[in-house]
Amino acid sequence: MRLDDICIVNTDVTASDDFYREGLGLERRMRNVRFADFLIGDGPRLAMWMRPSIAETVGEAYPSAPGLPFRVTVELADQQALERAAAVSSAMRLSPSPAHPVRWVVTDPDGFATVLTSSATGRPRIAEIELTVSDVARSYDFLERLGFVPRPSDGRLHFDGGNVLLTVLDAAAPRLGPAESASFTRNGGHVMLAIELATGEEVDAMHADLTARGLVASGPPAVFEWGARSTYFVDPDGYIWEIYAWVETPK
């Protein structure tokens, strides 16, 4: 199983586009009046979807409570790209980590934080997304049900998200120092994680399985104008999940 999109729920697509494209130097794939996304290597894309539009699409399942803290780490192509991105006014230097000696955290106009570092291979990518959750065992079971495979870890709970590490932390005891904790998004905003399946039938089957387990869905899978058969779920911690497969040419 692989993550296809990591999509933050924003308020101003123009401000987000300017920040990530001009400020951080990311390559934009597409943009319209409500959505923009950026290619970062071969892994998941980083996307922004305006709140009124995504709330309408997700419907009554859209979370009403503030979102829990989460963190996205992006590896840029090289040190020069990192230095250019770290020139934005919100950038703050972080302490080195075992894997990344130079790290910065930047905050976008909506208050979403992104950790930036440079790639050891010269290939940019989203390296990790860390989600804080209220019940680690429940989240483990849910992610396995979605098809994510656990990975050997450093004492934390990691899953293989397909060229990106998906990490789960206990929101009540994340075992992070003050500086690391401050590098998480803590604006109460929401994030959507998109999973691409091969066929519409697989989307229907996963929808049936997750609704049988009590998860709240946007409704039965439907074909949207962009050509995907999709359904949306909100997990118990308020993270939005899109399950989709391409079935038509976008209109």
DSSP output for 146-207 = HTPEEE--SSSEEEE-SSSEEEEEETT-----HHHHHTSB-SS--EEEEEE-S-HHHHHHHH
Query: At CA 48, angle to CA 199 and CA 230, rounded to 5?
Result: 20
Q: Residue 6's pLDDT is what?
A: 97
Q: What is the pTM of this model?
A: 0.93
Residue 122 CA, chain-centre distance (Å), reads: 22
Give the burial class of 122: count Cβ atoms within 10 A of its Cβ; 0-12 exposed, 13-18 middle, 19 or more buried: exposed
3-class secondary structure, 223:
strand
Instruction: Answer yes or no: are the C-beta atoms of 112 and 189 closer than 8 Å.
Output: yes
How far apart (Å, rounded) are the C-alpha atoms in residues 157 and 176? Answer: 14
Q: Residue 250's pLDDT is what?
A: 62
| Closest CA relative to residue 105, chosen from 181, 27, 1, 196 | 181
Strands 165-170, 228-234: pairing is unpaired
Q: Residue 230's pLDDT is what?
A: 92
Q: Residue 173's pLDDT is what?
A: 79
Task: Count the helix, strand and coil residues of the chain and give each as a percent rounded to the nearest 5.
Answer: 25, 35, 40
CB atoms within 10 A of CB 85: 21
pLDDT in tens, the chain (251 residues): 889 999 999 999 999 999 999 999 999 999 999 999 999 998 899 999 999 999 999 998 999 999 999 999 999 999 999 999 999 999 999 988 887 889 999 999 999 999 999 998 999 999 999 999 999 999 999 999 899 999 877 767 899 998 899 999 999 876 777 778 889 999 999 999 999 999 999 999 999 998 888 888 888 898 988 888 999 999 999 999 999 998 977 65
Q: Residue 53's pLDDT is what?
A: 95
Query: At CA 226, angle to CA 223 and CA 18, rounded to 5?
Result: 145
Residue 186 CA, chain-centre distance (Å), reads: 14
* φ/ψ bin of 36: left (φ > 0), alpha (ψ from -120 to 50), beta (otherwise): beta
Domains (ranges, CATH) in the chain? 3-246 (3.10.180.10)
Q: How many residues does the chain have?
A: 251
